[in-house]
Every structure is written in C-alpha cells, then in structure tokens.
Structure 1
Amino acid sequence: MTTALITGGTAGIGKAFADSFARSGYHLILVARNPERLDTVAEELRGLGAPEVETLPADLVTEEGRAAVEARLADADRPVDFLVNNAGFDLGKAFTKTSAEDEERLLDVHVLAPMRLTHAALPGMIARGRGAVINVASVAAFVPRGTYSAAKAWALSFSESLAAELRGTGVRAMALCPGFTHTEFHQRADIETTSVPGWMWLDAEYVVENALRDLRRGLPVSVPGPQYKVLTAASRYVPRGVRTRVSRSMSKRW
C-alpha cells in the first residue's frame, strides 16, 4: 500500500494532493500546525477513500517540529513512498520592510525543512527502489524578487539536481511551479490580488492533476497551465537585469 506524507496538507495545494491520493487509496500522513484542523481534514479524507490517515502536528519553523517529521520519514517499519514538501507562506512585504527573524522563519520552512525532510526520506526510498519527492516551488522561482522568490529558486534548483542524481534508482524528484492558484495563500499573507486577471488563476485540483501527470512522465519540473509555460519559457530569454527591474516595479503578488 502506498503511503504519502504531505506537509501543509490541510489547505490549498497540499489538501488537493491529499484529496487525490485519498481517492487513489493511499495511506496518508498529514503534517500541519493546527491539530484540530488536521483531525477535521483527516475525517474528510477517510470519506474520500483513504484507508488510513495519520496526523502529525508539527511547526516546521522549529527544530522540534522538523525532527518529528524526519523521524517519521526515516521509520523503516512504516515506510513512506511519497513526500510532498508543500508547507509554505509569504511575508507579503518587501525585504527592507520585514524583520530578519521573519525572513529566517521563511527560509526555515521553504529551504531548511524540505532539505532535511528529503534527506530523511531518500535512504529508505532508494533502498526499496521506489518513491517520489515533489517540492512545491512557484513561478516566482523565475523572477528575482525577495527571499520568497529566492527560496523558490532554491527549491527548483534542488529538485532538478536531485532528479539527475536519482536517475536509475527508481526514485523520482520534481519541482512543481504553479502560478496564481485559488488557495488561502495570498489572503494569509495579506497580498492584494484584485488586479490579477482571471486568465492567470489556476485551481489547486488542476495544479495537482498536472503535477502527477508530469511526475509519471519523468519530468524534473512541472509548470501547470499553458499561460505559465509560455511565461516561464519566455523568462529564460529575458536578461536577468531586465527581469529584476520589471519585478521591482511591480507590486508583489505571489
């Protein structure tokens, strides 16, 4: 029976992954900070078909929270076949208007936690000759703007490197780079999105469907939506200095 662990699995893209896996009969491990919400979502997922849903309350900003999830991933008696590093947040402000402590918290969740959790999960996956890791990045990885974009660029590079390193092991790694997606993300960060045109928005279910299809195809990077495929492809041909100036002139939206 396939077991998947999802960080940030109670809302947004993480919840969409959990819904998809539940319908496929996966055993699930949900990681999030709020125990009550974890229990509520776990019951929903059992109703969708998940034979077992384990909840693991953990704050990935903390060493204790990361260590708890690492221990679960490394448990050889209860193997995890699929890791989705999805937990994340944005500060919603320019770098010069935030505290260094808040920036460090962001890096703890977006960089340190995925690195450590992946490092804990891979030995068992490689030994079994199967498994997958999806790191949820963003199209922001292609736009130089602040710590959030830098963290997502790290997730993209890290995933591409892993995919190459794991070739031939039976284990896959992929970066998922969605654009604007209907979730709680922007509201939580107090990011204004009313000026974003409708054609730029994606549904979380669509993002997950595309991600899993691209993973099956063996792609190291998944960019859901034709509009974002065009935008990210075009960004590779725009000089970095130009991208930086354009990015600086725009209000932060992801």
Structure 2
Amino acid sequence: MSGGLLAGRTAVVTGGSSGIGLASARLLATEGATVTIAGRSEQRLAAAAEELGPGTRWIATDLSSAAGAARLAAALREHGTTAIDILFANAGASNAPELFDTTEETFDQVIDTNLKSTFFTVLECAGLLADHASVILTASVGYHNGRIGDPLYNAAKAGVRALGRGFAAQPEFLQRSIRVNTVSFGAVATPMTGAGAPEYEAALQEWAETEVPLRRWAEPVEAAGAVLFLAGPHSTYLTGAEIPVDGGLVQL
C-alpha cells in the first residue's frame, strides 16, 4: 500500500515465515513498508512472501552462524537494499532439551539459534542501517523468573535483552539516532508454543487460564502490535527499553 505509518520504509524481518515474525511482517507491510523476510526454509519463505503480496522479498539463510548472518547482509545488498529502516531480529526457537539431557552440542544449538543469531544479524546488517533506524530484538519474559521449564532457552533470551541495552548504548548507533529496543514475549499462540496441535490444545488452554492473568494466549497479531509501535513514529524517543507482551505473566 502507498500510505500508512511506514510508507517508504524498508523492513527486514528474520524468522519471518511463521508465528510472530510473519504476523509482524504482515502488519509492517499493511502500514506501507517494503518487507524482506528471512529464515531457513525456502518453501515456507516463498509461501509467506506470496501471502504478504507483491514487493515482498525473501532470503533463505541459517542465521545461527556468523556466516549465515553475513549471507543475509550480502543478499540484501544484491537485491538492491541500500538502507534498512526497520530491522526485526526475531529468528529463534524453543529448542532446549530437558535440562539433564543437555549435551554440549545441544547447548550450542540453543545459544546459536537464539543469541548468536541476534548478535550477528545486527552486526552484519549494521552497515546497512539508515539514520534513525529502529532495531527490534525478540526476547522472552521467561528469564524474569525461575520457573521450571527451559532454563537454557531463558538464559539465551536474557542475553538478547542484555544485547538490546548494549547495542543501544553504542556511540555508532547513538550518533545516527539508531534506536535498539527489545520485545519480550510470553504466552503467544504460535507453532513454536504448540498452537494448532490438537493433542496440546486442552493442556495449553488450562495452563493459560491458571497462570496468565489475562487467562488466555495472545494471538500473533497482538504480539506484532508491539513491533509496529517500535518500528513506527510513536516510539522515536525510546531506546534500550524492553516491552513485555505476556498478558501479565511475569508482571503481576
């Protein structure tokens, strides 16, 4: 669309083929941004890009390595991207094994997928960021408490939150008014959290009604609303901040 809050802006969304990433890409495109989505699966990316409409580009790369992040930046340049106004570093997965089944290999996989991917995506794309760009990182509210669950995944996401502060404080970004903020998600109904799987439906609903103050799971579009806020003109004095989107899960 030609109008909208983000008309004329260029956005890059990693992990953009499903869940929060796809919902965010859809919302950014609806508000006028030209969107590129990135992820591992060519098939899922192509399907998502077709859904998002003409002008949407996709780049298949594994962002869990520095080389994969470098391929993202190189492909953006090859596609003619000269400036990124919105970078949503969202790629990640709840891929932690049971605590006492964790090996060094699976430890590295969790950290690489959730923390290393964020770090190197921002570093490799830094040279493409426009003045006044908005960088948005995906974390999780899980790191705020010690509930039984995914301590390794939560540690990785705590690292992402720390990166949000650290990147925001960099003189190279501050001098160019590049803002870096973090959205920490809680109970959002996505494939990663088991949404849509009939065998989990009753248990997931019962958990939300018991544990989440708002007594329900969020839809991906509700999560994407925070991304749109940070991407748009109403958050231009916000940097280094964290927005929890969790229905009050760790706030109340």
Same fold (TM over 0.5): yes
The aligned counterpart of 1:91 is 95
The whole-number CA distance in structure 1 between the counterparts of 2:166 and 2:89 is 16
Q: CA deviation at 1:63?
A: 4.9
- Matched letter for residue 221 of structure 2: E
The reply to whether residue 193 of structure 1 matches residue 204 of structure 2 is: yes
Equivalent residue, structure 1, for 2:32: 25
Of stretches 98-107 and 161-170 in structure 1, the one that deviates more from structure 2 is 161-170
Report if the CA contact (8 A) 1:200-1:227 is conserved. Answer: no
Task: Give yes or no for contact 1:6–1:31 (8 Å, CA) kept in 2.
Answer: yes
In the TM superposition, 1:1-254 aligns within 5 A as 1-46=8-53, 51-72=54-75, 78-79=81-82, 80-125=84-129, 128-144=130-146, 146-165=151-170, 166-167=173-174, 169-187=176-194, 193-198=204-209, 199-214=215-230, 216-217=234-235, 218=238, 220-225=241-246, 227-228=248-249, 231-232=250-251
C-alpha distance in 2, partners of 1:210/1:63?
A: 28
Normalised TM-score (structure 1): 0.78
Q: In structure 2, the residue corresponding to 1:37 is in which secondary structure?
A: helix
How far did residue 164 of structure 1 move?
3.3
Q: Which runs of 5+ in 1 are unaligned?
A: 235-254
Q: Quick one: structure 1 residues 5 and 208, their matched pair in 2 at CA, closer, same or farther if it must change by over 3 Å? A: same
Task: Please provide the CA RMSD for this pair.
Answer: 2.7
* Count of residue pairs the alignment pairs up: 225
User: Residue in 2 aligned with 1:246?
Assistant: none
Letter in 2 for 1:131: A
Report the secondary structure of 2:23's partner residue: helix
Residue 174 of structure 1 and its aligned partner are, at CA, apart by 0.8
Question: How far is the alpha carbon of 1:160 from its aligned partner?
Answer: 2.0
The letter of the residue matching 1:197 is A
- The residue type paired with residue 81 of structure 2 is R
- Contact in 1 for aligned 2:39/2:45 (Cα 8 Å): yes
Task: Please tell me the residue identity of whatever aligns with 1:157.
Answer: A
> Structure 1 residues 92 and 85, CA, compared in 2 at 3 Å: closer, same or farther?
same
For 1:74 and 1:106, the matched residues in 2 are separated by 29
Runs of 5+ consecutive residues of structure 2 not aligned to the other structure? 1-7, 210-214
- Map Cα deviations across residues 194-230 of structure 1 (whole Å, 9 max, x no partner): 54124142111111113332563325111125524xx
How far apart in 2 are the matches of 1:73 and 1:221?
28
Counterpart of 2:91 in structure 1: which amino acid? A
Identity score, percent: 23
User: Is the Cα–Cα contact under 8 Å of residues 85 and 134 in structure 2 kept in the other structure?
Assistant: yes
Distance apart, 1:73 and its partner CA = 5.3
TM-score (norm 2): 0.79
For 2:208 and 2:222, the matched residues in 1 are separated by 18
Q: 1:186 to 1:225 in 2, by over 3 A?
A: closer
